[in-house]
Amino acid sequence: MSMDWATTAVTVVTSSLASGFVTFLLNARQQERSVKREKLELLCGLLHKQHARFAGMTRLANQALAGPADLKAYQDFMAESARENDIAHEKVVALIAIYFPTLKPKFDAAARAGWAATGAAGMAKQVKQFEALTACHQGVYRAAIELGPTVNAPLWKFWK
């Protein structure tokens, strides 16, 4: 009879420990997923704003080819955009480095296109560079969006 009691006690203790461990793992995964989802939403919002800004640069650069009045609007937009982009760029770099390192190669390619665009001589060449930058940046945005299913994976996949 005492053997049945010892077996029951061991079963209860080990079951409690096992369920506590599984609960801990699932809660940790849920918290991690929640943080990653929040950071992915922030990253996508910043990337979307940057993409819209680059598309605006491309549009204004095309218009600036038409005449000096449009060139002034382009220069004003570029000056304002540079200030906004510096802050957003640092946030994007940090989010990618900390939470989404798989996006780094595409982001680096977009950054190289951006450097080429800002250093381009002549408005016509700059328009082409901005078009390339916008396309590269769209690729980074799409890759970030594609991370959604992994961030929203079922909770039972706690081992990944």
DSSP 103-155: GHHHHHHHHHHHHHHHT-SSHHHHHHHHHHHHHHHHHHHHHHHHTHHHHT--T
Of 145, 142, 43, residue with least CA distance to 90: 43
Report yes or no on 119 lying in a domain: yes
Domain of 132, in residue numbers? 2-151
Q: Which two structure tokens, joined as six digits, stand for 137?
A: 């940046």
Task: Indicate if the pLDDT at residue 118 is higher than 70.
Answer: no
Report yes or no on 40 lying in a domain: yes
Report yes or no on 160 lying in a domain: no
- The pLDDT tens digits for 27-84 are 888 888 888 889 888 988 888 888 888 777 777 777 777 766 666 777 777 777 776 7
Report yes or no on 156 lying in a domain: no
Report yes or no on 56 lying in a domain: yes
- Find all residues with CB under 8 Å of 39, minimum gap 6, and list them: 95, 98, 99, 100
Task: Indicate if the pLDDT at residue 155 is higher than 60.
Answer: no
Report yes or no on 48 lying in a domain: yes
Task: Indicate if the pLDDT at residue 121 is higher than 60.
Answer: no
Count Cα neighbours of 14 within 13 Å in the Cβ-side half-sphere: 6
Report yes or no on 157 lying in a domain: no
Number of structural domains found in the chain: 1
The answer to whether 78 and 117 have CB atoms below 8 angstroms apart is no
Report yes or no on 15 lying in a domain: yes
